[in-house]
Chains A and B, each alone.
Chain A
């Protein structure tokens, strides 16, 4: 087994007086595909932020490639981790086009006071190509549809040339076709770039068809971790979401219904 890429050991996070995450243990190895599922407010986004130090960790430890993630080491570690956030609204007048926004993904690696070179530009063009947005490179970012916006965010993350990709509900508020497209792009990219992926989602069926490993989070505690095919369990899912869930067989696939 290869050495862990990222590791959470007994991590506990408090915001003010409330406990958001409680004693989390998790190990991600290079190239693994993890998904994190759980009800709203379970602490999923907070957990995602632990890997790159956006969530400050009070107790326990977070390590990345053997280095402990602290405010001091975080800027360096962040260069290798790309984080795609939940979609936000963009002012339609925003003075920036898609290519510029994607190129911005390379800036942290370029460093302060240094000029963007051909290598970075090629990286941005490749990333646009990979998500199928080359055609829209010159379009102002405020004029994109929800799905295109999400693909742009993905391209920005790729342009960073990370080894670990954090995705926070990349398919939320998209129509079915756009959801499919995004998920296919993610699966394809993972193969192409040999990325480790940590995906937060509410789309259970995407989880079962794509991911290898599943973590379930409820009320700040890890309820269950294991292989995806074992996670398709009505009792377990019902416990996670506190609603009865049925698992139906649909040809080769098993799908969750409620």
Chain B
């Protein structure tokens, strides 16, 4: 890696990813920080390249963060979006269901998102780990760690259609899907909510170089009042970058262990996971 430029990895879960990182790249250049971005089609390769030093930083999903840390224990979460903090997932049933809480789901069929979705699969199943539920997975965008909302949407539709008895999804998508009419407002009932957890972060595999530090300082200085940067922040779904923290990943860590998604050294051990 050269000392004065940044090579960033990002996963192309949507065409807008190019718009976002191209825009940030244009914004960083006149601030004397040349940045190049490398797009990956899934998170596993991105993590491996980060650990191998082929990229300086990675815009990581929470699951990719967990794996990075297992492969490189000195990894650091540098910055996050304000919207990455304190998310929750919910388990919902049809409004007329007799299910009142998680325990009532024993033996019942529960819809989850893609196999690698932290918010719609791993964390909710972690919450229900003491209950013997039957699971129906909606594997949309496998390898994207749940960035593609299709799995959650299909899970909720399956619930509405009576194919399953509960569905798991992130709080914001429950609001979005009921607002948009994917399912009627009031037609579902929330029976469980996870404790808050954190989502994506900008990861370095070890102590950040001065250039990486300056890159993070520039991100933190991005102002939502700046008309050049605001559309990019809107696209990426944040109002401001905030310093990274690692206190919000414990639930996911536990779920990864319980469900055997990664081994202790970051080996991919999940059954049937083919990104």
* Chains A and B are bound partners: no
